[in-house]
Amino acid sequence: MEKWQGKNKAVTFSFDDGVKQDVRLIEILNKYGLKGTFNLNSSVLGLEGQLPYGENKFVRHDKVRACDVKGIYAGQEVAVHTLTHPNLTTLEEETVVYQVEKDRLALSELVGYEVVGMAYPCGGVNNDDRVADILKRRTGVKYSRTITPTGNFDLQNNLYRFNPTIHYGDENGLFKLGEKFLNLKPDKPQIYYIWGHSYELDMNIISWERFEEFCKFISGKADIFYGTNKEVLL
């Protein structure tokens, strides 16, 4: 593919929620020449909080400040995650448009370029054909990522319900698929698409050290294009 500099393999990352752990994660991506897309909720930027996990444990879930967005994510891609993180499948069409397009426009203003990507918020069944059609018809979004892992690298026709390869918390699968991807000699385009939340690294779903080990492992290969979601998908 010409957009991948003539290469048939591409690696891209995607991280949700716009939390302060993104800063450390981006330092690791930059260290190894990797690119990702960061999906932000513009109406809650700057809010501080925590999330429970395990038994009597909490992880910080502090959102980056609006004034810091452009600097933090420079060289990466900022994308839509809706204004307030609702499950769009439960909302009326006008509310879907409001949640998505207002977020897109606000983020575009913050970063100084047109935001066109998105990741669906919430777990479980967080997307469907109705919402995908609304995005396509009534917003400036050009692609949107689900949370449904495919376990493979194949291209997909529906960019408005684009499934990632794997969540990076599946540590064994992450490295196993990574090795498989590195060994591929494909005659057609293949994408290794990894997603997650940077705060999960503080929960040790995968450790910071192990994540950096993976980044080093997957990076620097002459036959792989490393890009943001937009650069890889569009």
The predicted-structure confidence for 156-186, as pLDDT tens digits, reads as follows 999 999 999 999 999 999 999 999 999 999 9
pTM of the model as a whole: 0.97
Residue 107 inside a domain? The answer is yes
Q: Which domain holds residue 181?
A: 10-233
Q: Does 219 have pLDDT greater than 70?
A: yes
Residue 25 inside a domain? The answer is yes
Residue 28 inside a domain? The answer is yes
Residue 4 inside a domain? The answer is no
pLDDT digits (tens, 9 = 90+) for 84-108: 999 999 999 999 999 999 999 999 9
Structurally, the chain folds into a number of domains equal to: 1
Amino acid symbol at 22: D
* Per-residue pLDDT at 101: 98
Left (φ > 0), alpha (ψ -120 to 50) or beta: where does 54 sit? Answer: left
Q: What is the mean pLDDT of residues 199-223?
A: 98
Helix (H, G, I), strand (E, B) or coil at 39: strand
CATH code for the domain in which residue 115 is found: 3.20.20.370
Residue 202 inside a domain? The answer is yes
Residue 5 inside a domain? The answer is no
Residue 221 inside a domain? The answer is yes
Residue 134 inside a domain? The answer is yes
Query: Kind and range of the H or E element at 101?
Result: helix 93-111
